[in-house]
């Protein structure tokens, strides 16, 4: 019979008696198992709400109950899914609910003994609809789970603190006022006075000051201290664009339009960054249409690399950023007779883990959390790297996790002399900030 690790037992003890808790526990250290055992031991608990990303809510939590022989808990919980009417009927049937985070409005203003927020960073924007729905839910205890709490800087912490109830229950207006005071005290807008329509906040207070009032309610474990994971190596592939592609890229850096295959595509400043990225991949979006260049230099390099891996009997987990990018990659894989599927396939995990496919296509926002893919391949490819460190770290951890038997390789493809190198640099800076947070809150 499986036994909990000592650090999981410490996490369970930490949760007891605190109305607000954050378990900032590294990926692969068993946050889900810890919380399920905590719930199972709470003999007086009569209701519980678990909130998670849709795929994790529907597939992972009840399965984890079975994996740990918590059969009574498995039978108690009801997964809320289906149409709005179907979800409402399920909600009425039980006080033990597992729900996707985007359906939180279905349980607004309800009362539970415990609310568990899986992937707490989903609530970093305190003004989002899901956050407001979360704030309306009453609970004697709220526990937030995360492996990458401070992924894009300390500015993300406020919403997560509110989600688990730090500061008590307040109105939206009062919460906004508190946020502006907090931000004004601890942060500075680096782009103030630049004329740009967006902001970039940098902490001016030491992190230990920002965490001072909540640190005692945060339990942090770093997976690097506890897990034996095979070596992970990162490989950077810089692709030289054609003269035509690079000319369009440089033209776009200074103008708000570009000409692609004779057609003029116009857009505003807010779209500029995404347009630069798509040009690196060989296409642009124009309203509902997609205009492909006759070139696809970077995508060609990505698919050539994948083909070489497959010919060496390796499986590849491939992350993309854009629908058109995915479509173009799929066309090329089909021509090479490479077997692939994406995470929308209901049997994708079985196909991947059993070796029935050579390539699994995934977007980091839909497959970066909760999926255990370490029993399949060991090679991960970023066709387009994300700017979001949480998505980057979580996606990479699909293969680099406990149970992986071979050294993991993570390959990042980037267009040479473009913003993509800056994106990788920003990811490394965010990783450094997260490591600082881990050291300050480590148990």
Q: 115 — phi, psi (to 5°)?
A: -120, 125
Q: Are residues 119 and 241 in the same domain?
A: no
Q: What percent of the chain has pLDDT over 90?
A: 47
Q: Are the CB atoms for 168 and 20 separated by under 8 Å?
A: no
pLDDT tens-digit readout, 363-380: 988 765 557 788 888 999
Q: Are residues 210 and 283 in the same domain?
A: no
d(CA 347, CA 345): 5
Q: 232 — phi, psi (to 5°)?
A: -115, 125
Q: Which residues contact 383 (CB under 8 A, 6 or more apart)?
A: 281, 298, 299, 302, 318, 319, 320, 321, 325, 329, 413
* Residue 101, H or E segment: none
Q: Of 350, 353, 352, whose CA–CA distance to 361 is shortest? A: 352
What pLDDT, on a 0 to 100 scale, did the predictor assign at position 148?
A: 75
Confidence band (pLDDT; 50, 70, 90) for 265? low
Q: Are residues 85 and 63 in the same domain?
A: yes
CB atoms within 10 A of CB 304: 12
Confidence band (pLDDT; 50, 70, 90) for 434? confident
As for how many domains the chain has, the answer is: 2
Q: Are residues 429 and 339 in the same domain?
A: yes
Q: Of 179, 117, 106, whose CA–CA distance to 170 is shortest? A: 179
Q: Are residues 90 and 68 in the same domain?
A: yes
Residue 1, domain member (yes or no): no
Residue 386, domain member (yes or no): yes
d(CA 50, CA 414): 38
> How many residues comprise the chain?
443
Q: Are residues 340 and 321 in the same domain?
A: yes
pLDDT at residue 285 is higher than 70? yes
Among 225, 259, 289, which residue terminates a domain?
Answer: 225
Where is pLDDT greater, at 183 or 168?
183
pLDDT tens-digit readout, 323-366: 889 999 999 999 999 999 998 888 898 899 889 999 999 998 87
What pLDDT, on a 0 to 100 scale, did the predictor assign at position 115?
A: 98
d(CA 135, CA 110): 11
Burial class (CB in 10 A: 0-12, 13-18, 19+), 160: buried
What pLDDT, on a 0 to 100 scale, did the predictor assign at position 403?
A: 77
Range of the domain at 359: 232-441
The CATH number linked to 239 is 3.40.50.300
């Amino acid at each position: 019979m499986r036994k909990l690790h000592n650090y999981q037992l410490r996490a369970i003890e930490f949760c007891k008696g605190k109305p607000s808790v954050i378990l900032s526990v590294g990926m692969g250290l068993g946050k889900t198992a810890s919380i399920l055992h905590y719930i199972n031991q709470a003999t007086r608990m009569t209701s519980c709400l678990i909130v998670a990303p849709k795929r994790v809510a529907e597939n992972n939590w009840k399965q984890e109950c079975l994996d740990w022989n918590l059969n009574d808990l498995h039978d108690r919980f009801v997964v809320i899914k289906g149409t709005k009417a179907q979800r409402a009927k399920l909600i009425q049937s039980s006080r033990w609910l597992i729900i996707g985070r985007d359906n939180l409005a279905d349980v607004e203003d309800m009362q539970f003994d415990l609310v568990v927020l899986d992937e707490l960073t989903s609530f970093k924007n305190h003004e989002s609809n899901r956050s407001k729905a979360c704030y309306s839910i009453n609970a004697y205890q709220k526990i937030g789970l995360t492996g990458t709490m401070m992924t894009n800087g300390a500015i993300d912490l406020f919403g997560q603190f509110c989600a688990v109830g730090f500061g008590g229950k307040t109105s939206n207006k009062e919460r906004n006022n508190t946020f502006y005071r907090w931000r004004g005290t601890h942060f500075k807008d680096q782009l103030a006075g630049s004329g740009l329509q967006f902001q970039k906040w940098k902490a001016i207070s030491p992190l230990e000051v920002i965490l001072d009032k909540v640190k005692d309610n945060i339990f942090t474990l770093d997976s690097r201290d506890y897990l034996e994971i095979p070596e992970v190596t990162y490989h950077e592939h810089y692709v030289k664009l054609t003269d035509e592609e690079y000319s369009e890229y440089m033209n776009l850096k200074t103008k708000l339009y570009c000409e692609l295959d004779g057609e003029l595509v116009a857009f505003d400043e807010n779209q500029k960054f995404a347009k630069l990225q798509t040009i690196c991949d060989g296409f642009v979006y124009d309203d509902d249409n997609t205009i492909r260049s006759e070139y696809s230099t970077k995508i060609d390099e990505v698919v050539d690399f994948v083909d070489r891996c497959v010919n060496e009997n390796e499986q590849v987990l491939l992350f993309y950023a854009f629908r058109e990018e995915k479509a173009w990659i799929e066309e090329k894989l089909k021509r090479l007779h490479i077997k692939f599927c994406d995470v929308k396939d209901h049997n994708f995990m079985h196909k991947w883990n059993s070796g029935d496919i050579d390539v699994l296509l995934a977007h980091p926002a839909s497959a970066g959390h909760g999926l255990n893919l370490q029993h399949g391949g060991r090679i991960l490819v970023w066709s387009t790297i994300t700017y979001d460190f949480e998505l980057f770290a979580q996606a990479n951890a699909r293969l680099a996790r406990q149970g992986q038997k071979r050294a993991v390789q993570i390959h990042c493809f980037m267009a040479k002399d473009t913003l993509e190198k800056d994106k990788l640099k920003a990811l490394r800076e965010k990783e450094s900030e997260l490591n600082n947070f881990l050291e300050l809150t480590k148990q």
